[in-house]
Structure 1
Amino acid sequence: MTQTAVDFSPTLQVVTWLLLALLSLVLFFRLLTRFFIKSDRYIGYDGLFILFAFVFAVGESVTEIIPPGAIYGRDIGSISPTQLQSGIKDGYARDILFLLSLGFAKLSVTSGLMILSPRRPTQLVIKTTTLTIAVWTVSSVLIAALQCGAQGPWASKAKQCIDIVAFWESVSIISLLLDITLVAIPAFIVFPLHMSLKMRLVVICFYSARLLCIVPTIFQLIYTPRLADDNFIWSGFAFYLSMQLVQFTNISTACIIYFWPFLRSLQTGLIFHNKDGLKLQYSLTKMRKLGSKDSGNSALALNQAARDRNDYVEITTEISAA
């Protein structure tokens, strides 16, 4: 190892451990909100997708922590050919797991958006985005798996493999565009609604947290050309570190919107009293202010508004009374 080739592998492994621990905590709070505060007794598609994303993220993190993965961040001259081959095999599995984790995290977001608005044009946009994410995920995984044809990248010559730099650049660019779309859709739905500006900003801010995914993705895009270096396992350290951050932000921001019922329950002190819980409903479009004097007329008006599903959006949180 040269004097300038500092061993970055311990840093990469420590960051991976830390992000995995934080990710486990975020997912725990999401499950806590759904099963205990909202009293949901089932997991929807968004919950299944985020669980799949987390499982793949755990697998990806393990590949970075186990001994074969310790070559990334080290100078290539300091490791044996056997270690290099084992490390490339490890990186091959890591890349596929990373892409699967990324894809399922984005699918979880679109699945959650499906219930945000029943309007047909909005549903069409969400379904189109979901299909795009699915196609992007499947195609990226297949390309990564078959990047050197029938052989693995550890047993093939460079000329027999795809341009790995161009591949990861395309993955990052499409991921950026999809994240921007996943922020624009809820903002487009919520901002024109007839509700207080403060409430609209709160809802949009929760969904806009996905913009945090853009920063590490840009860094990953910047450092992607280093994968073409002869000493790529050392010079590509920033790329591999950005990969961990991209994975963490994609999954964690998909869970942030579910913190809203948890935070509201803390503010009101309404936690864990009865089994059924107290339902707080927020109608977000075309809801007139109802007088409090005539409760019968108010209930009738609410039922009438609920029947009009064309321009009706509702966010429901369930919290338990103290």
Structure 2
Amino acid sequence: MAAPYGISPTDRSGVIVIAATLFMSWMVLVSLFRVYMRVAMNGPAGWDDVVVWIGGAIGIGNVGAIMKSVSQGLGRINPSDEEGAMKALYTADLLFLASHGASKLSVCLLLRRLGREGAYIRLCTVGLGVLVLWVLASILAVALQCEPSKPWDLTQCRSFITGWRAMAAFDVITEALLVGLSIRLVWGVQMRRTQKVGVIGAFGTRILIVALIILRQRYLNRVGLNNLLLGMSNVVVTTEVLLHSSLMAATVPCLKPFVIAFNTGWGQGGQKDGSYLRSETSEGPPSKARSRPYPADDEIIMIPPAGTREGGGNLEEASGGLVIHETREWSLRTEYIEMQPLKGSVAL
């Protein structure tokens, strides 16, 4: 029977279990939000969705490996099965790299799907290639770390920390690449500044991932070869937070339609410009209302220059062949009120 999970200076297994299961639960919930949106709101699913869902499944496998390692002594000063715990931790590290890499690829695929400019799409394609190389190289480096016959045995190997430093450095670079691609996406698009900030902010949540990468590496640099499974506890906790936060951050740019679907407008005294249902005051009778469905997460509303707006609803850019469509949807609402005569009145 496995020992109960504890939280003490000599037993950090409870902290590892709480962090792994809690953040995995949040990640699964966010992934289900994305599934719901693609099925019921703005489908069909794209490759970016498929890749992040695969990454989520691998992330669940990572937590399973961590739980196996904890049951055999990870996070304790006196492990019951040190070699078994290291084997499970070794498996969890490989799954971590695969799942974390899938989240990055999903973001890059989404950015590529949003782009319309040829040069930008080619830039995203190059970014995809860089990410694939980083994932494969990192997995290979961890798989062959230390002694090839026992790559999971870290007790006689200090060089594994140097390898993780190199991987962390390129990890930060690729995160910066994704944020840079999001800035490049809206840089030349004519849209409100607040909308640009919103797009960049949605993808800019990856900056928090950079902070977690650096924090994880700082903990890893302090790990000693004595009581290795206990010393790795902070590294494992940070790894789980990093992994599942990375998967959730890949879905943040897609959450706007889901949030809008629950915005009923209840309690608002009036309708303001920018709402999804606002009264028409200048182009039609007061009894008519104009409605506009929420945009999908892979749509960017572009505003043409002031000198070209008077030509009509369809504009074409001569150089790139970009067509901007303006669509208006009208709905007519009619209310019938049955008038009842007052008592004592004479019907005409």
TM-score range, shorter chain: 0.7 to 0.9
From the superposition, tell whether residues 5 and 209 of structure 1 become closer, same or farther in structure 2 (CA, over 3 Å): closer
Q: Does 1:139 align with 2:137?
A: yes
Letter in 1 for 2:79: I
Structure with the bigger RCO (C-alpha within 8 Å, sep 6+) is: 1
User: Residue 312 of structure 2: SS of its match in structure 1?
Assistant: helix
The aligned runs of 1:124-163 (5 Å cut-off) are 124-148=122-146, 150-154=148-152, 158=156, 163=159
Q: Does 1:175 align with 2:179?
A: no
- Which runs of 5 or more structure 2 residues have no equivalent in the other structure? 1-7, 266-275, 277-291, 328-348
Q: Find the aligned partners of 1:101 and 1:45 in 2 and give their Cα distance.
A: 15
Percent identity between matched residues is 20
- Which residue matches 1:189? 185
How many residue pairs align between the two structures?
Answer: 291
The aligned runs of 1:50-69 (5 Å cut-off) are 50-66=52-68, 68-69=70-71
Q: CA deviation at 1:254?
A: 0.4
- 2:302 corresponds, among 258, 268, 284, to 284
User: Residue 267 of structure 1: SS of its match in structure 2?
Assistant: coil
Q: Does 1:198 align with 2:200?
A: no
- Which residue matches 1:45? 47
Q: Does 1:251 align with 2:255?
A: no
Q: Find the aligned partners of 1:101 and 1:84 in 2 and give their Cα distance.
A: 26
Q: Does 1:13 align with 2:17?
A: yes
Write 1 or 2 for the structure with the bigger share of helix. 1
- Which residue matches 1:33? 37
Q: Find the aligned partners of 1:52 and 1:313 in 2 and give their Cα distance.
A: 34
- Which residue matches 2:214? 218
What TM-score comes out, normalization by structure 1 length?
0.81
Q: Is the 8 A contact 2:68 2:85 kept in 1?
A: no
Q: Does 1:23 align with 2:27?
A: yes
Greater gyration radius: 2
From the superposition, tell whether residues 69 and 97 of structure 1 become closer, same or farther in structure 2 (CA, over 3 Å): farther
What TM-score comes out, normalization by structure 2 length?
0.75
Q: Deviations along 1:68-98, whole A, 9 cap, x unmatched?
A: 55522211xx224xx0011011011001000
- Which residue matches 1:79? 79
Q: Does 1:166 align with 2:190?
A: no
From the superposition, tell whether residues 113 and 94 of structure 1 become closer, same or farther in structure 2 (CA, over 3 Å): same
Q: Find the aligned partners of 1:235 and 1:62 in 2 and give their Cα distance.
A: 20
Q: Find the aligned partners of 1:51 and 1:197 in 2 and give their Cα distance.
A: 32
Q: Find the aligned partners of 1:239 and 1:287 in 2 and give their Cα distance.
A: 52
